[in-house]
Amino acid sequence: MGSLLTIQDLSVAYEARSGPITAVNHVDLELHQDEFLAVVGESGCGKSTLGLSIIGLLPKPPARIVEGSIRYKDTDLVRLNGNKIREYRGTEIAMIFQEPLTSLSPVYRIGDQIAEAILVRESRKSGKSTVDSEFMQRTYKRTANKLKQTARMRHRLSSDLQEEVIRYLKLVRIADPDQVLDRYPFELSGGMTQRVMIAMALSQEPALLLADEPTTALDVTTQAQVLKLMKELIRKVRTSILLVTHDLAVASQVADRVVVMYAGEIVEDARVLDLFSNPMHPYTSGLLSCIPSGYKDDSELTPILGSLPDLRSPSIGCRFAPRCPHAMGVCSKQSPQLLQRGMNHEVSCHLYGQQN
Amino acid sequence: MANKTETILRTENLRKYFPVRKGLNPLSRREQRFVKAVDGVSIAVQKGKTAAIVGESGCGKTTLARTIALMTRATGGKLFFEEKEIVEGKIDRSEIYRNMQMVYQDPESSLDPRMKVAKSIGEPLHGLMKWEKQVVNEAVERSLQLVGLSADFADRLPRQLSGGQKQRVAIARAIAIQPSLVILDEPTSALDASVQAQILKLLLKLQNEFKLTYLLITHNIAVAKYMADFVAVMYAGNVVEYGPTRTVISKPRHPYTIALISSAPIPDPNTRNLLQTEIKGEVPSAIDPPSGCKFNPRCPFAEGICTSAVPQLEEISPGHFVACHFVSKTA
């Protein structure tokens, strides 16, 4: 498996009045071709910031990439300027977000929004690299003269375009796609809008799909449907997926590899079976024992004590040390490094010996 | 359902309908339609135990909690609290609230941003309980201690607290007046996993210490399994299955409960239950629910009778009730 995305020594900080907050701190991460990678962590661990920096959507300012590189295929995405990165954003690298309703435009029909995405892909393929902001308007104008004054001002997409839209809606298992086409986002349920988002993202035939908490706003039965769909699509359209989630259980169900983040740093990186059968970092095992799994009278939860460190004041040593049940003297003096501690199993912890 | 002597809360065919706004045309002859958020729920909660109401969004679990907490007026049905029937207009709410308190999902919005922690916790002690100032101060201090916050939190404002700490304050406020029933509406849904574990543990500790009764509203099966003695599964305004937690979770019999439990991800990559589930469709519209059993369009066992007759809760084993025509098929 070749490497698709290589993040090296990436640090991202948010400028605040009280000083910079380092949300991502010296992160190294590699994503392979056809891999389903899950980045897991609690709120504030920097997992979303990591995702946004890959696709160049960090709000700058206040965000600032302090150092490091994000190498996608052969391009360093960090060094690209605003227009250049648009050739990658939403096309080579697509993203779906937690709130599907806020990522769709409320004033255009579902079919038109997917059609726009397809048109963008076509114009990109035919060599027009940049797409101007009036694209949607032009999509409409082109069809406006054929417009018939029916009750709903119904306009029609060209039939082959419509067919392609329907094909994508079918791909994400939307029932009655020819009717859904004419609906507005608010007329669909949460699970359906998220599937529309996935359809739009996939219509770009992206090599990498970033999914930031795609099922957090959904119910469990819908979540199961959406995750199952994503898992199937990775095989069908050959896309790598980077799933950002707070839910270890979700990661365990779908991912090939799991990366655990804490306070802006990667603390553990392992294949999914290894991580759950043999969690090496105390934070990972702490998180696992936080998930209630037994019944009331025969199980005990062991919460991680304390709370997240303040990211404004860079601490010396391991950031988890104040909450760690195994903390030693060295933990508060020296930062551990992410080192290979087993087959494809990297851990950043002093418990497994000093670095040499 | 439960032994009457130890029942603290009981509902009989409780209903809450919300009217749907008609169109703008005043001459419209369309009949008034309703969202049947809670459509005939009968549950009983035993003293000192935890009953969980589990279901997906829109199933009516929060409306049920709000109706029980007298925050909205029931459309029909009966509600008994501590052996007394609560009849709208004839009751003194403050009397009820001295024994019934609620903890909400979002600790952010359930605390007054301008009130210091001590004031937030102390207010019901003054207003509701009419306690002396000295007593209130002691109670505030004690309840802070009970929820694991040090005394110097008393002078902080909500914005100086983390999400978990705010939820602890909300719990402290609920238990300070020593109620018999605490309604917990998704108490940990807004919290991170490690904080959720802390709060769940705290709730169990408080229950043991004060023999509290909990009515827990949650969408999270794992939380219900860990917290509750009894579970009621709601779907589209109805309870479809009810029974002891162990029975319902390990041997679910209603097709919806089966789907719900198998859709809840287990943190174990060796049992990828999520990818095997076969549930189709989504929760139906509450205005125009399917006729008969509301689950029939999504049910793998549905037959003709399911679209014509509403199944009633039937006791299939002691204390285990299921509302399904084909309960024999899921054995």
Nearest residue of chain A to residue B195 (CA atoms): A303
Per-residue pLDDT, B144: 92
Closest Cα of chain A to B230: distance in Å? 11
Rounded to whole angstroms, how far apart are CA atoms A195 and A178? 15
- DSSP state at residue A89: B
Could you identify the residue written with the tokens 């009217």?
B19
Given an 8 Å threshold on Cβ–Cβ distance, is A272 in contact with B269?
A: yes
The alpha carbon of residue B68 is apart from the nearest alpha carbon of chain A, in Å, by 24
Q: A325 in contact with B at a CB cutoff of 8 Å?
A: no
Residues 34-73 of B with CB under 8 A from A: 50, 56-57
CA dihedral of B158, B162, B167, B169, whole degrees rounded to 10: -50
- Residues A280-322 have pLDDT tens digits of 999 999 999 888 888 887 777 888 887 778 777 767 888 888 8
Residues 6+ apart with CB under 8 A from A22: A11, A12, A13, A66, A264, A311, A314
Residue A8 phi/psi, 5° resolution?
-125, 125
CA gap B222, A292 in Å, rounded: 6
Q: pLDDT tens digit string along A45-81?
A: 888 899 988 888 888 888 888 888 898 888 888 888 7
What residues contact B115, with CB distance under 8 A and at least 6 apart?
Answer: B123, B157, B158
Q: What pLDDT score does B28 carry?
A: 65
Decide if A26 contacts A265 (C-beta within 8 A). Answer: yes
Cα separation of the two ends of chain A? 29
pLDDT of residue A177: 83
**pLDDT tens over chain B, length 331 residues:** 444 458 999 999 999 998 877 666 666 666 778 888 899 999 999 999 999 999 988 888 889 999 999 888 889 899 999 888 888 777 888 888 989 999 998 888 889 999 999 999 999 898 888 888 899 999 999 999 999 888 889 999 998 888 889 999 999 999 998 899 999 999 988 888 888 998 999 999 999 999 999 999 999 999 999 999 999 999 989 999 999 999 999 999 999 999 999 888 888 888 887 777 777 777 777 778 888 999 998 888 888 899 999 999 999 999 999 999 998 888 7
Cα–Cα dist A345/A340, whole Å: 6
Contact between residue B298 and residue B281 where contact means Cβ atoms under 8 Å apart: yes
- Decide if B311 contacts B237 (C-beta within 8 A): no
Residue B8: domain span = 4-99+179-330
**How many inter-chain contacts (A to B, CB under 8 Å) are there?**
138
Please give the residue of chain A at the shortest CA–CA distance from B196.
A290
Chain A residues 230-289 with CB within 8 Å of chain B: 231, 246-250, 252-254, 272-273, 276-277, 286-289
**Does residue B148 belong to any structural domain of this protein?**
no
**Beta-carbon separation of A231 and B275 below 8 A:** yes
Residue owning tokens 């802006």:
A264
Q: Where are the domains of chain A?
A: 3-92+204-262, 106-202
Please give the Cα distance from B124 to B119 (Å, whole number).
9
pLDDT of residue A75: 84
Across the interface, whether the CB atoms of A42 and B193 are under 8 A apart is answered yes
Q: Is residue B172 included in any domain, yes or no?
A: no
The ipTM of this complex is: 0.80
Return the pLDDT at A354: 63
Please state, as a whole number, how many other Cβ atoms lie within 10 Å of the Cβ of residue B308: 12
Q: Identify the CATH homologous superfamily for domain A3-92+204-262.
A: P-loop containing nucleotide triphosphate hydrolases (3.40.50.300)
Q: Total domain count for chain B?
A: 1
> Is A170 within 8 Å of A205 (Cβ atoms)?
no
Confidence at residue B23, expressed as pLDDT on a 0 to 100 scale:
65
Q: Evaluate whether residue B147 is within a structural domain.
A: no
Of A222, A195, A225, which Cα lies nearest the Cα of A96?
A: A195
**CB nearest to B198's CB, from A219, A231, A303:** A303
C-alpha to C-alpha distance for A103 and A295, rounded to whole angstroms: 39
Taking only residues 149 to 168 of chain B, the set having a beta carbon closer than 8 angstroms to any beta carbon of chain A reads: 162, 164
For residue B71, tell me if it sits in a domain: yes
In angstroms, the Cα distances linking A252 to A265, B231, B276 are: 20, 26, 14
Are B274 and A228 inside 8 Å of each other by CB? yes
pLDDT in tens, A151-188: 344 456 677 888 888 888 888 878 788 888 888 888 88
pLDDT single digits (tens) A251-272? 999 999 999 999 889 999 999 9
* Position B8 in a domain: yes
Nearest chain B residue (CA) to A232: B275
Is residue B22 in a domain? yes
At B170 the pLDDT is 93
**CATH number of the domain that B211 lies in?**
3.40.50.300
